[in-house]
Amino acid sequence: MLPSSVTFAPTAKTLVGISVLLVMLAVIFGVLSTVKVKVVRSNVADTVSARDNTERHRTAQEKDIKARETAVAAEEAKLAERERKAANAESQLAKAQNEKADLQAKLQANEAEITSLRTQIEEKQPSSANPGAPSTVELQAQLDDARRQLDDAEREKVFVSEKLQSVQERSSRLEEEKKRRGTAVTGKVGVRGTVLAVNQAYNFVVLNLGGRQGVEPNSEMLVLRDGTFIGKIRISSVEPATAIGDIITSSLARGVQVQPGDIVIYAGTNS
């Protein structure tokens, strides 16, 4: 057993070893701290980048939604304008037909009045064979009055006939316009179909609509997906039961493509 007065005294070699160990630990902790700082900075940078990308994506989506809403509103406005014009034309046609009927009735009454006046004139010709008849002066006055009425009736007949002819011409024009609109527009507005195939390389689609449904070259179709407007196509060629349309790329939102199964609706003809 060592005497109580003997104490442990570290040698210089031990102190150097401890110092080296401490330095190595300090270096290790420094390296670990540096790596940790880099990882944290990288994570922060990734988070900021992800947040910026999300914000840009959200902004782009909002712009796309607004653009689609604007396009849909524009098409709805076009349809409403066509309906307004059609209703106005229908009203004018009904008015013209009523006016025509009134003028025809008036003309018939005028002709009946002329026939009656002519009969009166023939009956009131002076005759000396009837001694009890009114005097010649009275008959002449009655005859002159009947002739004036006849002249007025004849002039009114001419006026009514000319006005009736003008109304008939206007009514015929409105009837023709109604028939043309019925075959060229009304028959196609609201016609719906489906995209059968899409060729992305040449930017065209094949539809299940054709000439039998009133589709015409150069007409435009709205493309919908799940009830949402996504773009337009312009018809380039038409067969009886199918049609080919070019995709109007400027109408598509970024990243959106027309796909088989999308719905198409007639939008009008740009001729």
Mean per-residue pLDDT over the chain, rounded: 78
Q: Is the pLDDT of residue 1 over 50?
A: no
Using 50, 70 and 90 to split pLDDT, how confident is the model at 131? Answer: low
pLDDT per residue as tens digits for the range 2-16? 454 445 556 877 888
Q: CB of 150 within 8 A of CB of 114?
A: yes
Q: Is the pLDDT of residue 75 over 70?
A: no
Q: Among candidates 270, 162, 265, 258, which has minimal Cα distance to 222? A: 265
| CA dist., res. 18 & res. 7, Å (int) | 20
| More confident of the two residues 130 and 85 | 85
Q: Is the pLDDT of residue 267 over 80?
A: no
Q: What is the pLDDT of residue 261?
A: 95
Lowest mean pLDDT among 64-78, 105-119, 179-193, 242-256: 179-193
